[in-house]
Structure 1
């Protein structure tokens, strides 16, 4: 039975705690954080919620905090020579304090506490460790909650995180722009739902390169120019122009 601590009370910590608390092959011993109010959310999941200075050693201590706080929290952990990992897709494993055995336990997914539909068994967990024994421990722990466990190095993980920013964050911002355009002109945004669903479906089935359509792919300059004139927000215009240029260049045409 693997004993686990979680440091952090944010979205990743919450979903990890729920996943670990819903099985019987690992024990979520403690969740540590700075906010008593946020820690209360974990009272029914972990055996104990504590401030970080009262944290006790476990087989694995998972730091699930923002990237810029990882180093500070790893220094605050009040014990040495234990396996401590972070959940960041981009931060180097070496950021963790030298007093710990270091590792990475990165669930590649976008998390929000409001999302109750997340199935952790489908989420890739990407792991890395300095020591082969620790890597084995992390693989065992990850396999308890996920059916997709991969060992990758820091360079690969950083590139995957970068790819995820394009696939998730930038795409979602384009949805936000689309919704703003619909709202301003009184058009229901949900009219686009079938298109959004089909776009994702085709990208997964055919590959994104093979499923690209639209005026930029066709290099339809007349439509492109007219649509640019319809945009009144300079940021929206910049996004439209830059993505259009990228698409036309990718498919071998010049604006």
Structure 2
């Protein structure tokens, strides 16, 4: 990995806090650790997003008078919606990656231009998590500054790398693939009412597992977070449907 790639790490939720992620990626570069294409929280949020989108279709689907044509229309709508949003979300991911990389280049450039080590330490401290800053001494911040100044191959402008494209592909695949378990019952089960119950059951299980993974990642009561995710997901679906989404 070339030296400038420390700044090429982001989450597609936006460029806010990109300084922090850039410096975290810098540590991975200095220790020769490979960067993940998608962070766990990014995967979890994409699965939750996909489930909410597909549930707005299945939960608003009336099985009372539903025939095969109505089921087919619902399937096409659900798959088409998540396919389109998978593409849009992937584009957002690339935009955020591009923005964060450019912001990282500007930050590193500003770091190298300041004449006072104290100013450089302040720039680094603002980009790092507060807990990490609290245990770093001035001499350790100075070591970081020196290593950043020694990094070669700093590009003048941001460029999307292989990891960014793989991340965007991962976003797209997660959004689309997370849809399939919820809609497959409608394609395999002739009884629309049974298919809907099966679909809802699968969605609840997926929400539970997503919440459990979130709880483990956050370090806070996975089972409690799993139940909360089910309730949150159902509430968000209800709000989306009530607003005409």
TM tier relative to shorter chain = under 0.3
Q: Which has the higher helix share?
A: 2
Greater RCO structure (CA 8 Å; 6+ sep): 2
